[in-house]
Structure formats: C-alpha cells, structure tokens
Amino acid sequence: MNTEDIIKEVNSIFIDVLDNDGIIVQYNTTSDDIEEWDSLNHIQLVVAIEKYFKIRFTAAEIVNFNNVGEMCEAIKVKTLAQ
C-alpha cells in the first residue's frame, strides 16, 4: 500500500471516530484543520488506526507527528515490516 492509499483508509477512520462524514484529510492536514480533532479524540484515533492496521505506535511517535502524512508514512513502514 502506498501513502495515498493509506491516507484514504485513514480518512474513513477519521470519519468514523469523529462521527463527521464531511471530514477530508490530506497529507498536510493537521489537528488545527479539523475542529473535532482534540487531544482526547486523538487517543481514540490512534487506537482505531492501530487496530485497523494491526500496528503499534510508540509514545514518542504519537506526540511527534506533524501532520496526517507523517503518520501515514509511519503506518507504511510498520505495515511493510510485518
């Protein structure tokens, strides 16, 4: 799976977790761009993504991602390593 495909899948996880059909995430999307994406929802997003891709993020990763794209790059590396 390439980064674009992963972003698409992550988009549907955002829609589901944040309960908002209108959300569109792109490589450069950050939490500033999405109103519902606060620190509590971030936890739910991380757990939902971990479950979906069957991966684990580290404590450092989840605070250091600058945007959706970086998160998806990390997902790509982790899924490839499986």
Partner 1 sequence: MLSFSQLKKNLKKEDAQLKNIKISILSENAGQLVTIALKGYGVEFGYNFEINECGYNELNLQVFEPESQLYSVQSDYIIIIPSVQKLLNQFYKKPIQERNVFATEHISYMEEIIHTISSKSNAKIILFNYLEINDGVFGNFSAKLDISFITQLRKINVAISELAQITKNLFINDIVSLQTQFGTAFIIDNKFYINSDIAFSLDFLPHLAKNTLDIIKSIEGKINKCLVLDLDNTLWGGIIGDDGVEGIQVGQLGIGKAFTELQQWFKQLKERGIILTICSKNTEAIAKEPFINHPEMVLKLDDIAVFIANWETKVDNIRHIQSILNIGFDSMVFIDDNPFERNLVKENIPQIHAPDLPEDPSDYLNFLRALNLFETASFTSEDSERTHLYQEDAKRQVFKKSFLNEGEYLAGLAMTSKIESFNKFNIPRVAQLTVRSNQFNLRTKRYSEVEIEQIANSKKHTCMSFTLSDKFGDHGLIAVVILEMKNPNDLFIDTWLMSCRVLKRGMESFVLNKIVSIAKELGCEKVIGEYIPTPKNEIVSNHYKDLGFKAIDDFWYLKVEDYRKRKTYIN
The residue ranges that bind partner 1 (CB under 8 A) are 16-17, 19, 39-40, 43-44, 47-48, 57-59, 62-63
Q: How far is the CB of 74 from partner 1 (least distance, A)?
A: 13
Measured CA to CA in angstroms, residue 59 lies from 62, 64, 65 at distances of: 6, 9, 11
∠ CA 5-82-77, rounded to 5°? 50
Measured CA to CA in angstroms, residue 63 lies from 5, 19, 39, 46 at distances of: 23, 23, 10, 11
Q: How far is the CB of 4 from partner 1 (least distance, A)?
A: 26
If the CB atoms of residues 13 and 72 are measured against partner 1, the closer one turns out to be 13
Q: How far is the CB of 36 from partner 1 (least distance, A)?
A: 12
If the CB atoms of residues 41 and 67 are measured against partner 1, the closer one turns out to be 41
If the CB atoms of residues 1 and 47 are measured against partner 1, the closer one turns out to be 47
Q: How many residues does the chain have?
A: 82
